[in-house]
Amino acid sequence: MLELSMYIDGEWRQGSGNGKREIINPANGEVIAQAAEGNVSDVRAAVQAAREAFDRGPWPGLSAEERAGYLLKAAAKIDERHDELAALETLDNGKPLREAGYDVSDAAACFRYYAGLIPAPHGETYTVPDNMQAMVIREPIGVCGLIVPWNYPLLMSVWKIAPALAAGNAIVYKPSELTPVTATKLFEILEETGLPKGVANMVMGAGETVGNEIAVSHGVDMISFTGGTDTGRRIMKAASGNMKKISLELGGKSPNIIFADADFESAVDYALFGIYAGAGQICSAGSRILVEESIKDAFVARFTERANKIRVGAGGDPETEMGPLVSQEQLDKVLRYIEIGKAEGAEIACGGFRLTGRDYDNGFFVAPTAFIDTEPGMRIVQEEIFGPVAVFQTFRDETEAVRLANETKYGLAGAVFTKDAARAMRVIKKVRAGITWVNTYHGTYNEAPWHGYKQSGIGSSLGTYGLDEFLETKQINFNLDGGPSGWFSG
């Protein structure tokens, strides 16, 4: 059994209220860890430590080379502990070991990417009247509150921590209450890099207490949040007290548009990957599959044939292709949506039930599920289910495909499958989403921004855009001849 502590002001601590939370393996319901449960006063202590480190400590003033050195050390240590971190991620989140391994490698690569951006030239100069020099410099914001969900516990944390530290900020970070295991390992790694105390703080606990306090605190200058759209809305309100800068990566209901001229097998393959990777618990999942009417029957037949063969099981089993849902609550939510879909009149094409039997009974497993005969207004078409549930929609032409694709409140991701390059470009440009693919799905790169349109978010992660989120912009106008303004005569 693992004992997980919080990390505040360079020390490992229990919560001041001595609360504990049991952490569950979603594959079998066993308790794998006891996590310290933080409260409002723990957040206040963490904010105070971060303020001290930022306002009076050496961290924001380090040279680029020195700061990049910490991030490179973190990357190397993540690589060294790759297998251990992947195994713990699988134990805590349930995802297959193969997926967890990719997350760990991506986490190390993300630290390296931002380490590489630190020494890059920043700022600008402007041509203004001769006696003045105008310039723009970039500065860290101060104390950043970072709040992440449970679906990529390590990777989502690094997507925020790496750019926040690269920019020279101090951080107060909160993992999901369900998945704090790799977060604590990441903080062990940050400690081993020798980061000055107070620069990186971690408080564990519930969103309504710990998360909310980070969002309302006047000691926090910026909040970067990844999670559900409704939580994002609450955070916006909570953050308004001191006009924090906010960056929100929220939910999605992303369209995967398949034209009749697409490479059939490849489109089926990516449609499966788009929705069932991560058991559908991916914000950018291709959860709405829009298929051209003329190939609908053949497409659904091949899709369901392959969906029924997906090997569902414990993430630690190397044979497993799809793991469990993260929690009993998430299982209940997904099963509830399956019932809603049936009640709305949609037909189940595959799955539609909780998996039972010796290997499944104590875990949170749902069969890969797909609905056909849907209508655009149905809740299963409009709302994020966040589980292995695809909804099929059909279209007759390009115009209808684009209209249906854009007909939700979300705008996170989208894909188009066709061999007609001009059509691919026409359609993808009209999809109102920040992350898009042509004849592929799910590939993400540290270099490119991760960004949601509409109610899928505000601001960006990753790329130079992701670094900009954690920087302020200052103009400096320098009087070169030192003379007076001459504005007033007296």
Q: Phi, psi (5° rounding) for residue 75?
A: -60, -45
DSSP 300-341: HHHHHHHHTT--B--TTSTT-SB---S-HHHHHHHHHHHHHH
Query: Residue from 411, 452, 459, 466 that binds ligand NDP (CB under 6 A)?
Result: 452
Residues in the chain: 490
DSSP for 186-217, please give it.
Answer: HHHHHHHTTPPTTSEEE--S-IIIIIHHHHH-
| Contact set for ligand NDP, span 151-180 (CB under 6 A) | 151, 156, 174, 176-177
Stretch that binds ligand NDP, among 94-102, 118-126, 250-258, 423-431 (CB under 6 A): 250-258
Distance of alpha carbon 479 from alpha carbon 134, whole angstroms: 9
- What phi-psi label fits residue 408: left (phi over 0), alpha (psi between -120 and 50 degrees) or beta? beta
**How far is residue 35 from each of residues 48, 220, 330, measured CA to CA in Å?**
22, 24, 20
Instruction: Map the footprint of ligand NDP across residues 317-356, applying CB under 6 A.
Output: none
Size of site (CB under 6 A) for ligand NDP = 32
Is 457 a binding residue for ligand NDP by CB under 6 A? The answer is yes
| DSSP summary character for residue 397 | S
Nearer to ligand NDP, 133 or 464 (CB): 464
Q: How far is the CB of 334 from ligand NDP (least distance, A)?
A: 12
Least distance to ligand NDP, CB of residue 235, Å: 5
* Residue 231 engages ligand NDP in binding (rule: CB under 6 A): yes
Residue 205 burial (CB count, 10 A): 26
Considering the rule CB under 6 A, would residue 412 count as an interface residue with ligand NDP? yes
Task: Pick one of 147, 171, 275, 279: the residue that binds ligand NDP (CB under 6 A).
Answer: 147
CB of 227 to ligand NDP, least distance (A): 3
Enzyme catalytic residues: 249, 283
Helix, strand, coil percentages (3-state) for the chain, rounded to 5, are 40, 25, 35
Q: Judged by CB under 6 A, which of 32, 135, 206, 260 binds ligand NDP?
A: 206
Q: Which stretch binds ligand NDP (CB under 6 A): 210-218, 259-267, 340-348, 468-476?
A: 210-218
Q: Which stretch binds ligand NDP (CB under 6 A): 145-153, 259-267, 301-309, 388-396?
A: 145-153
Count CA atoms closer than 13 A to 417's CA, side-chain side: 27
**329-359 residues labelled b (16+ CB within 10 A) or e (exposed):** ebbeebbebbeebeebebebbbbbebbeeee
- Name the one residue in this structure whose structure tokens are 């899928």: 456
Q: For residue 46, state whether it binds ligand NDP (rule: CB under 6 A).
A: no
Shortest Å, Cβ 239 to ligand NDP = 9
Closest CB to ligand NDP among 450 and 453?
Answer: 450
State the binding string over 66-105 for ligand NDP (x if CB under 6 A, else -).
----------------------------------------
CB of 173 to ligand NDP, least distance (A): 10
Q: Which of 43, 144, 158, 250 binds ligand NDP (CB under 6 A)?
A: 250
Burial zone of 232 (CB within 10 Å; 0-12 exposed, 13-18 middle, 19+ buried): buried
Q: Are 415 and 286 in contact (CB under 8 A)?
A: yes
The answer to whether 388 contacts ligand NDP (rule: CB under 6 A) is no
Cα–Cα distance for residue pair 257/415, rounded to 1 Å:
6
Binding of ligand NDP by 375 (CB under 6 A): no
From the list 12-20, 42-50, 90-98, 229-237, the region that binds ligand NDP by CB under 6 A is 229-237
- List residues binding ligand NDP (CB under 6 A): 147-151, 156, 174, 176-177, 206-208, 211-212, 215, 226-228, 231, 234-235, 249-252, 283, 384, 386, 412, 450, 452, 457
